[in-house]
Structure 1
Amino acid sequence: MLDIVIEARKASLAPGMNVRRILPFRLRRMVGPFIFMDHAGPVDVQLELVHSMDVLPHPHIGLSTVSYLFGGQVTHRDSLGVEQVIRPGEVNWMTAGSGIAHSERFEDPAALAGGTLEMIQTWVALPEKDEESSPAFTNYKPEHLPVFTDTGIWMRLIAGDAYGLRNDVKTHSPLFYLHVVLQKGARFGLPTGHTERGIYVAKGSIEVSGVTYTIGQMLVFNKGVDPVILAKENTTLMLLGGEPLGERFIWWNFVSSRKDRIEQAKADWKEGRIILPPSDNQEFVPLPEDRSRPAGDPAPQALS
């Protein structure tokens, strides 16, 4: 049985940068270890506003950020000194662990021409034993991400394991994450073996058990339910899920199994104890004022 349908909420991160926010949702904080999901774009912005879309240096703890592009390009810089341009079909996997800061900048106006910039950002919570691990970053090229095709079906494994596919993307807990493209009339099923599974409709529409679902909706299923997905038109899906990790608290860009760790992260950022990217350290996002929300309320503000 379908567990829940999540309707994406609109959020604006900067002039011209509007997103559909899927996770966290008040009735469903996580799907497997995935605790945050934004769908940005397609972005069509005037050239003079391009730099206003930049995501300035900001901190994370207790999670991995995962960036995946359908179109355009973004430049990533972080506390480790990494500078990496991500392009469509690649994966930027950054594990914050004990603490990292990074920025995402849109430095090539041509990459925004004609509304081509479109990306999915997710956060994957870390198991308790890895929450204080050392920060790390890896960019994975398309050739590292296996692709499977069948009649009317194309899919790329971004991370984890599903449908017998595996890759070398380093994860910290059992999960799966796929980019799936279906031609009109194609039928498809969810991967088995994972406790929690979600289908996000990024483009097009699907039918499940006689009900049609469209762009901006996520369907969440528990283990043992194997729905048949019918593409009503040419459709793009993001499939994700895995094993639940237990309760997590989220405030701004911080995720932890402990409320007191969130409070420590706030103080660390405010006092400058989380290092800025060495090649992007002239500006940063200040700690938001926290007048009413206790640690644990979902108030993420950055794109990743």
Structure 2
Amino acid sequence: METKTKEVANILKAPAPNMVGDGFRVHNFFPSGYEIDMNPFFLMDYGSKIEFSARKEPRGVGVHPHRGFETVTIAYHGAVAHHDSSGNSGIIYPGDIQWMTAASGILHKEYHEQAYSLAGGPFQMVQLWVNLPAKDKMSKPKYQAIKQADLATFTLQDEGGKIEIIAGNYQGIKGNANTFTPIELYNARLNKGGKANFNFAANFNTGFMVIEGSIKVNGEDTAEVNNFIHFKNDGEEISIEALENSIVLILSGEPIDEPIFQYGPFLMNTESEIEIAISDYNHGKFGYLEE
């Protein structure tokens, strides 16, 4: 059976930035920046490349709760340290991924790593909120630390570059991250002229974020750095070609066909579940984490 091209719906420019705490300047592509359906990805904050000056006291975001979803942080420049109320801590260096399942509830803080803060320099990251199905929203929090050196990779032909498989399966190679629902998440690191092909189910919501460089999509559309390419749900095949050395974050996932009710850092199915989350947080059921 012949496959069909998954066509481009829109090529979206970065919305106006906003600050999260004093350490993260982000462009929220969705849900507030653009009304696009990327379910099971609920939110994408893209921190385009920015220079932070050297500073003794690290910038960042103080203690805050999460429930009902996962946060996925992907680092390209700079370094972020983090702690949570489950006792997890670590540093996300360029190329690393932090996959935190907040699920039933967690307190979390994230800030510029000390050595990076003292030196300053370029900073560029992506944070995704990945929804959880209702049956898993109150599961136990967990944490997956994925170092770039440990990522499964596929080498492209003709010295075209490589695909780093964070989650899902590319050309038979499985990514490191365990997910609750079918999700494909890759970094395509392409050399100029490098080509890569992707195949995602027609119903999977799909978007590509151009982190660096510029690419041609399906032989027709050109997308530049800081552009997000949103695809239609009408085909399976996507091809890209790097017009210069490029990095592209690939997102594709099966929608979770359940109602969503969001309030601040809580992502549940009903308003009453949000009320319970707020009550649990106020009664200290998310644990304790020092500021």
Provide TM-score, normalisation by structure 1.
0.82
| Deviation for aligned residue 1:63 | 0.6
**CA offsets 1:279-303 (integer angstroms, 9 cap, x no match):** xx1x3xxxxxxxxxxxxxxxxxxxx
Q: What per-residue deviation string (whole Å, max 9, x for no partner) do you get for residues 42-83 of structure 1?
A: 3422223752x2111111111111112113221111111112
1:108 aligns with 2:109: no
> Does structure 1 residue 252 correspond to structure 2 residue 264?
yes
Question: For 1:156 and 1:173, how far apart are their aligned partners in 2?
Answer: 20
Following TM superposition, by how much is the alpha carbon of 1:204 offset from its aligned partner in structure 2, in angstroms?
1.5
Distance 1:215 1:250 in 2: 30
Distance apart, 1:236 and its partner CA: 1.0
Return closer, same or farther for 1:81/1:179 CA change in 2, 3 Å cut-off: same
Tell me the CA shift for residue 95 of structure 1.
0.6
Residue 62 of structure 2 is matched in structure 1 by 56
Runs of 4+ displaced beyond 6 Å: none
Deviation at 1:112, TM superposition (A): 6.7
Q: Percent identity?
A: 32
Pairs within 5 Å for 1:1-304: 1-9=7-15, 10-15=17-22, 17-25=24-32, 28-48=35-55, 50-51=57-58, 53-110=59-116, 113=119, 115-150=121-156, 151-193=159-201, 195-208=204-217, 209-221=219-231, 222=233, 224-246=235-257, 247-277=259-289, 281=290, 283=291
Give the superposition deviation at 1:196.
2.1
User: Counterpart of 1:301?
Assistant: none
- Kept in 2, the 8 Å contact 1:111–1:117? The answer is no
Question: Aligned Cα RMSD in Å?
Answer: 2.3
Write the distance in 1 (CA, Å) between the matches of 2:183 and 2:272.
27
In the aligned structure 1, how far is the partner of 2:221 from the partner of 2:188?
20
CA distances 1:142-199 after superposition (whole Å, capped 9, x unpaired): 3432011222222211112233220342110001100111222222222333622211
Question: CA 1:42–1:82 in 2, change beyond 3 Å: closer, same or farther?
Answer: same
Deviation (angstroms), 1:26: 6.2
- How many residue pairs align between the two structures? 278
